[in-house]
Structure 1
Amino acid sequence: MSMTDEPRSQHISRQFSQELEALKAHLMDMGELVEKQVQDATRSLLEADTVLAQQVVANDRRVNDMQISIDDECTLVLLRRQPAATDLRLVLAVTRATSDLERIGDEASKIARNALELIDKNSGNHGFVEVRLISEHVCRMVRDSLASFTHLDTDLALKVAREDEGVDSEYRAAMRSLMTFMMEDSRSISPILSIMWMLRSLERVGDHASNLAEYVIYLVKGMDVRHQDIDEVACHIRAGENAQQD
């Protein structure tokens, strides 16, 4: 490389780094929005706030637009830079992550729509405690998965992936409780079914948060860990780290 080519190469490399950082920043913005969507959808039910529920439904379009915009950025990076190795994994991980975030936004919209129906019927508050607890749990998972992406923290990513089992357990327990309540009082069937759909949406949010964590492991370690036992994945990662130290 000539001396005149070297500054140009450094400039291109700096531009590329800036583009990758912008991708991560935009992904975090989208993640913060969908986490707030879930929080607001839940709060709209607990506080009987129809205006807030309607805002969540309206904001779903904004979530969709953010996904399209970030995907377009990823496509341009792939076309212009033809990244390899870790850089390529970052772009692919961002693309996959936007899909899961968009689906979290969809689930938040479903929760808000059910909240509007329940508020309109004024059907009591049975199941609200379960909705609040599981919502807090899955929102924490979304937040931690995004933090693991920002800091490339595989330990935190593994923690999030493990928590998905806890959410599933909480969901099953809540469903059993609600089924019992429905059998005891047939008048509660309709509102309880709405609560069940909300809990199902929250359980799906947990699944998507776990997916986000798996993308971090893929990005950092180059391992596709989808559909694998998370404890086995953790052991494999530790074995690899120990081998590098030796």
Structure 2
Amino acid sequence: MEHFEFEKHTSSEYNTELEDIRNHLLQMGGQAENQLRTVLKAISEESDELATELLSQGDDIDQMEVDLDQECTRIIARRQPAASDLRLIVAVMKSITDIERIGDETEKMARLLKKLFARDFHSKYFKEIDHLGQEVLTNLSGSLNALARLDAEEAIKLAQRDQVIDAHFDELNGQLIKKMVKDPNKVKPYLGLSQCAQSLERIGDHAKNICEYIIYLVIGKDVRHTDIEEVKNSLLEQ
């Protein structure tokens, strides 16, 4: 498979700018990953304090998004990038949006958890949601590592694993719906758990999107809305 390499420019300042936006994107991704770890720990420990701690960090990712978006805009305006440089900037700008939304989903989960904890609600499904969350965390962490290494082959494998997350979510959400039907007095708390599971499934989708941007950056082909098995077969033949 083809591998991506940064073009070296006569301007060392330009080289630094390109490397900086990738590093800043990875820092932003690391913050989102940490927030997901925190909310999963809040779930496993049923900790209101951890949910509150996460909500206090909410502005961090938002500010990173604004700063990094401005960096990319300045490079486009000053350097008028072409070819692989432009692909890098496009991939970064698209990834910014997905990472910011991951932060939004973790905050949504923290707010839902605080409501559940306030009701002193306990359920075996906290463990089930944590299990789903660990699968999502593995994919998110893997996608960020693939981004750091510009590893398109690993990105394809991770994108395929999103199907496992979707199947796990469907099964878990189906169980929660049955609980709501069986016990109408607890519809609200079980609905809250269902919404937490939905947020995790969406985070998995955002991690998959990042993988697709990696493939675009390395290969130069937009693989969105394409069957990932077909992508794997066509790209690995190259």
Q: Same fold (TM over 0.5)?
A: yes
Match for 2:205 among 207, 211, 221? 207
Structure 2 gaps of 5+ residues are 1-8
Match for 1:92 among 86, 90, 93? 90
Q: Residue type of the partner of 1:22? A: D
Runs of 4+ in structure 1 displaced over 3 angstroms?
none
Query: In the alignment, is residue 111 of structure 1 matched against residue 114 of structure 2?
Result: no
Q: Residue type of the partner of 1:177? A: Q
Q: Residue type of the partner of 2:140? A: V
Q: What secondary structure, in the 3-state scheme, does the structure 2 residue paired with 1:97 have?
A: helix
The structural deviation recorded for 1:182 is 2.4
| Corresponding residue number in structure 2 for 1:142 | 140
* Structure number with bigger Rg: 1
Match for 1:69 among 64, 67, 70? 67
Q: Residue type of the partner of 2:25? A: L
Match for 2:178 among 177, 180, 183? 180
Task: Indicate if the aligned counterparts of 2:43 and 2:130 stay in contact, CA closer than 8 A.
Answer: no
The structural deviation recorded for 1:61 is 1.2
Task: Indicate if the aligned counterparts of 1:42 and 1:111 stay in contact, CA closer than 8 A.
Answer: no
| Corresponding residue number in structure 1 for 2:222 | 224
User: Deviations along 1:56-76, whole A, 9 cap, x unmatched?
Assistant: 122121111100100001011
Relative to structure 1, is the Cα distance of residues 126 and 191 closer, same or farther in structure 2, using a 3 angstrom cutoff?
Answer: farther
User: Deviations along 1:207-228, whole A, 9 cap, x unmatched?
Assistant: 0000000000000000001111
Q: Which 10-residue stretch deviates more, 56-65 or 198-207? A: 56-65
Alpha-carbon distance between aligned partners in 1 of 2:162 and 2:64, rounded to the nearest angstrom: 26
Query: In the alignment, is residue 17 of structure 1 matched against residue 15 of structure 2?
Result: yes
Structure 1 gaps of 5+ residues are 1-8, 242-246
| Corresponding residue number in structure 1 for 2:81 | 83
Task: Indicate if the aligned counterparts of 1:24 and 1:94 stay in contact, CA closer than 8 A.
Answer: yes
Q: TM-score, with normalisation over the residues of structure 2?
A: 0.93
Q: Residue type of the partner of 1:74? A: C
**Equivalent pairs, count:** 230
Q: Which 10-residue stretch deviates more, 119-128 or 222-231? A: 119-128
Query: In the alignment, is residue 34 of structure 1 matched against residue 21 of structure 2?
Result: no
Q: TM-score, with normalisation over the residues of structure 1?
A: 0.90
Indicate the structure whose relative CO is greater, using CA pairs within 8 Å and at least 6 residues apart: 2
The structural deviation recorded for 1:175 is 1.1
Alpha-carbon distance between aligned partners in 1 of 2:45 and 2:185, rounded to the nearest angstrom: 23
Q: What secondary structure, in the 3-state scheme, does the structure 2 residue paired with 1:62 have?
A: helix
Q: Percent identity?
A: 35
Match for 2:46 among 39, 45, 48? 48
CA RMSD of aligned residues (A): 1.2
Alpha-carbon distance between aligned partners in 2 of 1:212 and 1:235, rounded to the nearest angstrom: 20
| Corresponding residue number in structure 2 for 1:6 | none
Q: What secondary structure, in the 3-state scheme, does the structure 1 residue paired with 2:121 have?
A: coil
| Corresponding residue number in structure 1 for 2:6 | none
Task: Indicate if the aligned counterparts of 2:140 and 2:207 stay in contact, CA closer than 8 A.
Answer: yes
Q: What secondary structure, in the 3-state scheme, does the structure 1 residue paired with 2:56 have?
A: helix
Structure with the largest fraction of helix: 1
The structural deviation recorded for 1:20 is 1.0
Alpha-carbon distance between aligned partners in 2 of 1:122 and 1:45, rounded to the nearest angstrom: 13
The structural deviation recorded for 1:54 is 1.5
The structural deviation recorded for 1:48 is 2.6
The structural deviation recorded for 1:102 is 0.2
The structural deviation recorded for 1:51 is 2.2
Alpha-carbon distance between aligned partners in 1 of 2:24 and 2:61, rounded to the nearest angstrom: 12
Q: Residue type of the partner of 2:205? A: D
| Corresponding residue number in structure 2 for 1:167 | 165
| Corresponding residue number in structure 2 for 1:120 | 118
